[in-house]
Amino acid sequence: MPPPEILTPTAGPFGPPSFDTLAQLGQGGSLEAVLDTLGECLIRTLPGSAWVVLLAHPEGAGMHFHYVRQGGPLPFQRPPEEAFPLAPGLGSLAQAVLEQGPVSSGPLATDPHWRHAPDIWRHSGLQAAWAYPLRDGNNRCTGALGLLFHAPPPHGAEAQATWQHLECMARLASLGLTLHQQHTALHDSRQELAHVLSAIGEGVWDWNVHTNQVTHNLRWCAMMGLPPDYLHHPLEEFLALVHPEDLPRVELAIQSCLAGAGPYQSEHRMRHARGHYVWVRDRGNVVEHDQEGKPARLIGSIADISTEMEAEQHLRLTASVFQHAHEGIVITDPAACIIEVNDTFCAITGYAREEVLGRNTRFLRSGHQDRSFYGQMWAELLEKGVWHGEMWNRKKNGELYAQLSNISAVRNEHGKIIQFVGLFSDITALKESQRHLEHLAYHDALTQLPNRSLLADRMRMALLQAERNHTLTAVAYLDLDNFKPVNDQYTHATGDRLLVEVARRLLQTTRAGDTVARMGGDEFALIYNGLQTPDECEQVVHRLLARLAEPILLDGQALQLTASIGMTLYPLDGSDPDTLLRHADQAMYMAKQAGGNCFHMFDPERDRRLRAHREALERVDAALHDGELELHYQPKVDARSNAVIGVEALIRWRHPHLGLLRPAEFLPIALDTEFEAQLGDWALATALHDMETLLGHGYVLPVSVNITPHHLTHPDFIPSLSALLAAHPRLPAGVLELEILESTAMGDIDAVAEIIAACHRLGVSFALDDFGTGYASLTWLRRLPVQTIKIDQSFVRNMLEDSEDLAIVQGVISLAAAFRRQVIAEGVESTDHRQILTALGCHLLQGYGVARPMPLTQLRVWLQARQQSDTRSALPAPTAK
């Protein structure tokens, strides 16, 4: 039976179709459930009938189809899974798709529509198959709904109603397929959008205007550090996160969008959950209106642009630094051609930006640096990627300037140099200031002559030159004679002008390779190089003195100055620079002492002697402080009673390496020095201390101590002696005797006599030592209040063989008797000496024949032995010759 032409559903025995089934798709139901519902509705009143749905789809160059759903009694529980090419003879449903209209067929075993269908269909025993095409939203035929009969199909009006019902179910199924496709496309679109948003890392918001609720995705929550439960919230909470300074601008953008201005975009700050603000780019637009045409829904995205904003800010800062930097900046390509410069570059060089772009930087070169300089610079720059240094360049107007440069190589990700960036500062003023400071550091501000620092450098160079050329170098020290009175008589300004004129004359009398330096005040130093002989040096100095002695005219007045000059010659004086200058200074003072206006040559041999003397004196001084000096005591006896009448304190040096040294080996070193008085004070203090020690053992012995003229006449001698005596109150008066030489009174006999008198008042007596060896007169002997005269041991020792010495001894004894002085003989070494001296009237004896000098401990033992031996004399009894 052919299909009817009536294609609108009407009421019939099947009842009205249930369109509610389509709502299942909108509520999340599946397409299969909808098709099952429609199929069951189709066969509800047709016992023994079945239904099946076929869907077609393109595959390769043609169309294929397969059965997707079925219901009712069929020879198979589910439709075949394989797909078949869409072609005639494969069944009524395939034919309906091909013809895009309803198709009916008789028994499947014989109907031509099924002649190529699988056997499972043709042998199924089905009596008829009706099919109606399914269409999508674009009216394209995408499948068919089939009604299958196991019994003969309806006829007449019943058939008409069945066809209408089939058509109705097919249209509902087509609508369901369309809805399913739309839902699938929407789901796929949402999935794709979710993937895109996830890939780009942006947050999404959805604002329902009517409910005022904003919905976000998880990415937005993560971006703002918020928990997932913050996905839904009112708009006010969303806006509360916006920075207060940015909020008015954001609200204005949203209102403009709502008013129909179209999509909006805003870059603003939003508060992160941790308290800091995040820069975001917010885009949004109205996507839905209500029935009144008012915006009902806005959707937008938010991207975190903090890094981008920081980069942009950094770029702005970099640009600002580039333009406003105090340093000149130049950017070049790898070939050193200029790409960009800043304003400071233009200000320093005088070139406009347009004048330098594209030019190689070598046009700035001044010529002060040679090719090797630039070769080393580029080699270091290419090897290390950076170069730092100073160079001189030329400005547009030709003026030279010094610049401090820092050049860096910029490389790409592959390590290839793509640019060079140079920063430089104009240090011309600094270099000039540095040159001025260096001049001040090495030159005298008044005369502009080299100062001490530069002189030292020049002297080192001069000495090296003398060694290399085997010549002489003269170092001179010059001091103006009587400059201070001239400076005081006139103004200091006049004195300065005199010094400047002196400096000019000194320069006039020296050669180009020589040096004139000002040491300060009116003192100058000179270095003469390349001299061959000392005579040549003297000639130079004579010319110098003559030139300086010429009158100097200042303000109409003729002033005349002379100079004292000390000189030393290197390498004859093989000293270091400082010592050479000191030697010249010492020689200059010798010239001063000679009356000035002359020169004196330093004597290295004399200086070595003085230095050796100074070192020896320092060693003796150290010996005193280190306890190496000690006193030995030589007894003195009365030959008549053989009694010990006293001891003489004699100094000894117990040297750690040389052993015990006698006074003659070291005392001359201390003569006429301050140390002489210090050593004398020590001898007095030690002698008094030792005598007090002997007093504790029952011995009361006067002690005589030798005092030098320098010590005796020292202003502190009397106060010091008084303090020493006061420190030993147990010692009886008269225990101390001071021995002085004849030469002591040669300077001022009255002053010496006064000192001796002051000592007498302290209970101290005096002896005149080594009498007969000096130049004393009888007047001195009469005026000096000494109690004892000591005959020098040289006369006593030789009087046995030398009649003249015997006569001298006899004369001294007679002279002492005439002046009522005690007399004591030194150097008594034998019985013969004793016999002759006692015969001549000298009974007080001292010498090796009595006892040798001994330390305090041995002296005490010697005294004890004398007591125990019960003898009257330490000398052997006289025997006949």
pLDDT at res. 29: 63
pLDDT 10s digits, 464-513: 999 999 999 999 999 999 888 887 888 888 889 999 999 999 999 888 88
Residue 342, H or E segment: none
DSSP secondary structure code for residue 443 in this structure:
B
pLDDT at res. 584: 93
pLDDT at res. 81: 65
> Given pLDDT bands bounded at 50, 70 and 90, which one contains residue 198?
low
Average pLDDT over residues 42-50: 85
Tokens of 168: 């109705």
Give CA–CA dist 474/569, Å, rounded.
5
Residue 340 phi, psi dihedral angles, 5° rounding: -155, 150
**99 in Cβ contact with 118 (< 8 Å):** no
pLDDT at res. 163: 92
Given a cut of 50, whether residue 403 has pLDDT beyond it is yes
**461 in Cβ contact with 475 (< 8 Å):** no
> Given pLDDT bands bounded at 50, 70 and 90, which one contains residue 131?
very high
Beta-strand runs (E) in 397-471: 400-411, 417-426
> Given pLDDT bands bounded at 50, 70 and 90, which one contains residue 38?
confident
Give whole-number Cα distances, 174 to 54, 139, 164, 171, 181, in Å.
Answer: 12, 9, 15, 5, 10
Q: What is the CA radius of gyration of the chain?
A: 67
Give CA–CA dist 526/509, Å, rounded.
11
pLDDT at res. 607: 67
The residue written with tokens 């869409």 in the block is 86
Question: pLDDT exceeding 70 applies to what percent of the chain?
Answer: 91
**630 in Cβ contact with 856 (< 8 Å):** no
**122 in Cβ contact with 108 (< 8 Å):** yes
Average pLDDT over residues 851-864: 94
Residue 229 phi, psi dihedral angles, 5° rounding: -70, 0
> Given pLDDT bands bounded at 50, 70 and 90, which one contains residue 736?
very high
**266 in Cβ contact with 250 (< 8 Å):** yes
pLDDT at res. 495: 87
Given a cut of 50, whether residue 878 has pLDDT beyond it is no
Given a cut of 70, whether residue 597 has pLDDT beyond it is yes
More confident residue, 401 or 608: 401
Give CA–CA dist 438/567, Å, rounded.
29
pLDDT 10s digits, 141-166: 989 999 999 889 999 888 899 999 98
pLDDT at res. 229: 82
Given a cut of 50, whether residue 874 has pLDDT beyond it is no
More confident residue, 743 or 173: 173
DSSP secondary structure code for residue 578 in this structure:
H
Which amino acid is present at 388? H
Average pLDDT over residues 688-704: 93
Average pLDDT over residues 407-411: 92
Q: What is the pTM for the complete model shown?
A: 0.44
> Given pLDDT bands bounded at 50, 70 and 90, which one contains residue 608?
confident
Give CA–CA dist 691/785, Å, rounded.
25
Give CA–CA dist 772/604, Å, rounded.
39
pLDDT at res. 1: 43
Grouping H, G, I as helix, E, B as strand and the rest as coil, residue 283 is strand
Given a cut of 90, whether residue 695 has pLDDT beyond it is yes
Given a cut of 60, whether residue 875 has pLDDT beyond it is no
Beta pairing, strands 557-559 & 552-554: antiparallel
> Given pLDDT bands bounded at 50, 70 and 90, which one contains residue 862?
very high
